[in-house]
Structure 1
Amino acid sequence: MKMKKSFKKTLVLGIILVLNVSVFSQNRLLKKGNEQYDKYEYINAQNTYLKVVNTGFESSELFKKLGNSYYFNSQFENASKWYKRLLEKYGTIVKTEYFFRYAQTLKAIGNYKEADLYMHKFSRLNPEDNRAQLFLKKQNYLKDTNSEVEKYRVKNLEMNSSFTDFGTTYYGDYILFSSSRKEETSKQNIHEWNKELYLDFYKGKPDPETGDLYEIEKWDHIFNSDLHESTPVFTKNKKIVYFTRNNEDGGSYDKLNQQRRIRTDKLKIYRASVNARGEWTEPEPLPFNSDSYSIAHPALSNDGKKLYFSSDMPGGKGESDIYEVEVNSDGSFGVPTNLGSKINTEGKETFPFISANNDLYFSSDGHVGLGGLDIFKVKSFSDSDTWKVENVGKPINSRADDFAIIMNKDSKKGYFSSNRKEGKGKDDIYSFVRIEIKKKEEPKIKKDTVVLPKITEIKKGDDLGKTLVLNPIYFDFDESFIRPDAAIELDKIVTVLKKYPSIKIQVRSHTDSRAIWYYNTALSKRRAKSTREYLIKNGINRNRITSRGYGESRLLNKCKDYVYCTEEEHQLNRRSEFIVIEK
């Protein structure tokens, strides 16, 4: 009996010891991960936090930081996984900003339906947030971003490396850009944020046809330091350059935890000029830079009298805003001014560019887009009363981050940067050429002699489509106009309704499951109305026809949400029915 008691006591002590060691190990790893996270060593923090997760430990703070460490590195697929776990388990206690971030990651992996659902949740919880208001005003954003009259042909440049390449500018016969590519002959520093080399300036000669860059080499050594350099912009005479460089001093408050101050890299804008000997002077920081916040990604007005940039300085609207500042004739500066809520949101607005015809381009994740940063345009930027922010659409924008656009004098060619999946590295440079296309018009319909099958009886509740053995009334994806093949079938309905003038019908239209349900319901209503109007236009009294849109609620096959289907399978669900409601 004493031996049994002794064994039990030893067993209990052993279990307590193991638990204590396990808790100690968890705490040690959490402390290490938090230190890495606070220093913005996100790759290291990810690895440490994943070890904590593998011990079975869970908390809202752990899931937040894991999600953030991927989100801030634009690793949206992995970020989505941890934000999902965060909101499923701790959704009632976390800040609503995580609903927005989760929605952004869902867009990045193509799950627009669920992304919109979380944006609706975010909008209900934050009705005053500019991002919420913009989302609610632009429910058809998926269609809008694919319906521009101006379209572009884009190309991933051959010279892109397996690392980071981004941020182009025109410089005489060259294109300048930033890259973290490896150099065989030089020693380069590693940045702990993303475990890549620090960015340096490179230059290349552009091919006038393809936009590809050749004869790649580092630009002037005076600009490339042991830190990051990026996003240069030149005055028109090429004698003054502004560019972005990071520093390693200062700190800022965590946006989602105002009690915690973080020491981390901040960005500053530098300026250099060509001296009397034709040489570049040593770059100097602009006077309104700070060690406590970032000033980055400069752009110049066409007359060179205003400098635009992105900053997270205090008093801004969001994570980063776009500002302007006067450049005086003596080289001094005025006071930076925020461009205001027409441009800036509670999210990120960054990478401004002013085109030759005075349009503003910038990147944003706060305005409604396809995922990550999208590129937006404001025409006639000099007149603030007419400002209207427009998404430039596909194929320049994608599910990923799209940013740092520039274009030539006639705005028909240019470059932008993106981290889309099909790229070669973390960020790649793409060239684009604008092509003019006509808006899709309703096709002209040729009338043929209508041949009907023999009809023995028409009863209330019958579908005339089935009675007449019609070919299905199909619609193109996301469209509601009557196709020529559909018109041939509708003419048979017209003939029967003229032959049986007492019949009344209801046109019922259905969509496939792509896009969010309420958009599909609206689309089906437009299609049903379009079908009804065709019948009326061809001689049927409007009092004999009603219409109803069912959206995706009555699918004919397996093609519901999150199920892969071919285009042909989806098309089977885009159909119309003609139900006899009175005989």
Structure 2
Amino acid sequence: RYPVNSPGDDFAYITTYEGDEGIAGYLSSNRTGGKGSDDIYSFTYEKPRIVIILQGTASDKNTKDRLADVSVTLYDGKREIVARKRTDGSGTFEFVLDRDRQYMVLGQKEKYHGDSARVSTAGITKSDTLEVALLLEPIFEVGRTFELENIYYDFDKHNIRPDAAAVLDELVRTLRDNPTLRIELSSHTDSRGSDAYNMALSQRRAQSAVDYLVSRGIARERMVARGYGETRLVNGCGNGVPCSREDHQANRRTEVTVLEY
């Protein structure tokens, strides 16, 4: 089309670049306005740029108040740092993302346990804005207990899976950022299986989590591993009570209690 294609004699069209960003090349033409009879012209066509924005907020998980000056780090799919910034006075942040990539965004602040979220730009073909909300758990109160969400174990196993390791890595950062923090790391099961077996299984799971933290450089004396089995159910799904998979899952959890700070 115009202006590459003119009313004159256009010929010898050749492209030197053709890709996601556009097209470039040369052609010859005797069109009006040239320097001679037949002249060589270059041309470029830039495709509209796809801009993907990640907009996020960081808030106190309990009060829902926005948190300023939170350190927010953007990682790629290989957990290498892509960018880092701090939330503004309104607790918001923003990154520009590339297409067809996997990201993780992590928020950290002193006296809080960090929160993270995964973001994917795979399949996005036009400019878009993605949103994420980070909820940071305050940890400075002795006796406070909070759940480490999304820690799962294979059935009847206690080894740390890769997805659980990623969550525990956030706890590693919290412990490193708060060197006087001492915690109890507890594991809980649902009511299925015998009471004694569940108690032993939960203790093994709690111990394996603590062992993982030690392998990441956290002093063992800062942590206590405690398995509670099915003694601290969060709902009525006790022995012999029919419950849904979701209700049983709520009881299979890993928690952290602040012992000293």
Q: TM-score range by the shorter chain?
A: 0.3 to 0.5
TM-score, normalized by length of structure 1? Answer: 0.22
Q: Which has the higher helix share?
A: 1
Q: Which has the higher strand share?
A: 2
More RCO (CA 8 Å, sep 6+): 2
